[in-house]
């Protein structure tokens, strides 16, 4: 008759085998989900983006630094999507400067 210690070691081997199987299932599922995600196109960029500044915020800007057209390659760092009205308000009321490359002020119909 096996000792109690032998039975515990047997149980441990069985549990390690089950853990190994579970880890293989997890890896297979992660690979499947990654494959599905790779097939899906990325979401479209937002219409307007405001990048957040690192320095102290100007009054009324909540740290906003620059307004960009969505998808602008110059919108680096922390940015947040905004609506057309929010972008327009940021440029006209809150004095957030528009990006000089994508010119959201022109897109929004704001005259220089």
* 14-53 pLDDT tens trace: 999 999 999 999 999 999 999 999 999 988 999 999 998 6
60 and 27 within one domain = no
Nearest to 104 by CA among 49, 28, 38: 49
Q: Are 99 and 72 in contact, with CB atoms under 8 Å apart?
A: yes
Q: What is the chain's length?
A: 112
Number of domains in the chain: 2
24 and 62 within one domain = no
72 and 36 within one domain = no
Secondary structure class of 80 (helix, strand, coil) = strand
* Domain membership flag for residue 112: no
Six-digit token string for 60: 């009324």
54-78 pLDDT tens trace: 655 555 545 558 999 999 988 888 8
Domain hosting residue 79, numbered range: 48-107
* Domain membership flag for residue 17: yes
60 and 29 within one domain = no
61 and 18 within one domain = no
CA distance 95 to 58: 9
Nearest to 69 by CA among 98, 91, 43: 98
78-90 pLDDT tens trace: 889 999 999 999 9
């Amino acid at each position: 008759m096996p000792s109690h210690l032998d039975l515990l070691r047997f149980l441990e081997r069985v549990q390690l085998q089950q853990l190994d199987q579970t880890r293989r299932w997890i890896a297979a599922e992660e690979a499947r989900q990654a494959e599905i995600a790779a097939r899906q196109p990325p979401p479209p960029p937002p219409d307007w983006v405001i990048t957040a500044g690192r320095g102290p915020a100007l009054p009324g800007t909540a740290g906003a630094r620059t307004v960009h057209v969505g998808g602008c390659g110059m919108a680096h760092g922390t940015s947040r999507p905004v609506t057309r009205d929010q972008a327009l308000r940021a440029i006209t009321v809150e004095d957030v400067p528009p990006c000089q490359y994508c010119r959201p002020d022109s897109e929004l119909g704001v005259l220089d």
